[in-house]
């Protein structure tokens, strides 16, 4: 049965087309739900009721099933989000290095608390468990782009720049920060051409790799996972660390070719996975 939505006809046509592209990447349609929820956020700025209805129809799910997923993950918003989600890490190392103070000062400065949005609709503030960047603690993220080694003063300056409509440059990654809707479209699986823009890893991240090379440390050999049999010399023949991977690999350009029957070169066994 067709589900009526309140999207304008041209918007719904575009969303259905992009949803179809997402669904085609998976052996089972319902596996596409997570990126489709990001697609909805790229249009509405949050997971709306009309977006839930559209996902349910296209994937053969109930609205309750879609809502259950949307309410489980904090990256999906159930009310309108700001243009920029500012996440201040207050967990473990970041807290020790001043994350709690940064959050308190930014919260006071903006006049909002966790998961609240400024009246101008620009910033949604979050108290984050971990930004996975402990080597640069304390860390603040804006739409999941890193701003390292922050202080209360620098973090307040950052949110002021955002509210003034001026571009800000992350410490690592893209040269500028996209809006919440723009980044949601990328998370839905649509390339914005910026994957290799900016610095991928800084000195603190690469310190362990540099030390290993200086001391001649190597990873242990593996067998079947690396093509069967022990690797000569007992080390993995990998000329670069994970932070130094080539900008583009086959997994970047044609993931479906390996993971599902839709891509050329997929085996029958891979198609079952």
**Which has more pLDDT, 44 or 256?**
44
What pLDDT score does 249 carry? 63
| pTM across the whole model | 0.78
Q: Span 158-187, mean pLDDT? A: 95
Query: What mean pLDDT is reported for the chain?
Result: 85
Question: pLDDT at residue 261 above 90?
Answer: no
Question: pLDDT at residue 211 above 90?
Answer: yes
**Read out DSSP for the chain?**
-PPP--S-HHHHHHHHHHHHHHHTTSSSGGGGHHHHHHHHHHHHSS--HHHHHHHHHHHT--HHHHHHHHTT-TTS-SSPPPSEEEEEE-SHHHHHTTHHHHHHHHHHHHT--TTEE-TTS-EEEEEES--S-GGG-S-EEETTEEE-S--HHHHHHHHHHHHTT-----SSSSSSPPPHHHHHHHHTT---S-TT-S-S--HHHHHHHHHHHHHT--PPP-SGGGTSSPPGGGS---SS-GGG--S--HHHH-THHHHSTTSTT--HHHHH-
For residue 44, what pLDDT band results from cuts at 50, 70 and 90? very high
Of 117-121, 207-211, 254-258, give the lowest mean pLDDT range. Answer: 254-258
Of 78-92, 181-195, 225-239, give the lowest mean pLDDT range. Answer: 225-239
What pLDDT score does 173 carry? 85
């Amino acid at each position: 049965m067709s589900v009526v939505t309140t999207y304008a006809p041209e918007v719904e046509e575009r969303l259905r087309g992009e949803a179809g592209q997402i669904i085609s990447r998976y052996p089972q349609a319902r596996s596409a739900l997570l990126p489709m929820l990001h697609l909805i956020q790229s249009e509405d700025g949050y997971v709306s009721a009309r977006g839930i209805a559209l996902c349910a129809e296209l994937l053969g799910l109930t609205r309750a099933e879609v809502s259950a997923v949307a309410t489980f993950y904090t990256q999906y918003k159930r009310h309108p989000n700001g243009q920029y989600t500012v996440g201040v890490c207050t967990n473990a190392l970041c807290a020790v290095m001043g994350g709690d103070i940064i959050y308190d000062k930014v919260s006071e400065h903006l006049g909002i608390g966790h998961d609240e949005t400024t009246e101008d609709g620009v910033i949604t503030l979050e108290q984050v468990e971990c930004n996975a960047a402990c080597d640069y603690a304390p860390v603040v993220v804006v739409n999941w782009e890193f701003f390292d080694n922050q202080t209360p003063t620098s973090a307040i300056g950052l949110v002021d720049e955002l509210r003034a409509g001026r571009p800000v440059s992350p410490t690592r990654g893209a040269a500028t920060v996209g809006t919440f809707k723009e980044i949601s479209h990328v998370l839905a699986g649509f390339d914005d051409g910026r994957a290799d823009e900016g610095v991928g890893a800084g000195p603190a991240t690469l310190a362990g790799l540099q030390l290993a090379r200086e001391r001649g440390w190597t990873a242990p050999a593996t067998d079947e996972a690396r093509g069967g049999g022990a690797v000569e010399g007992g080390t993995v023949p990998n000329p670069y660390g994970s932070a130094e991977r080539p900008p583009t690999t086959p997994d970047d350009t044609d993931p479906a070719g390996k993971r599902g029957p839709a891509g050329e070169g997929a085996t029958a066994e891979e198609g079952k996975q």
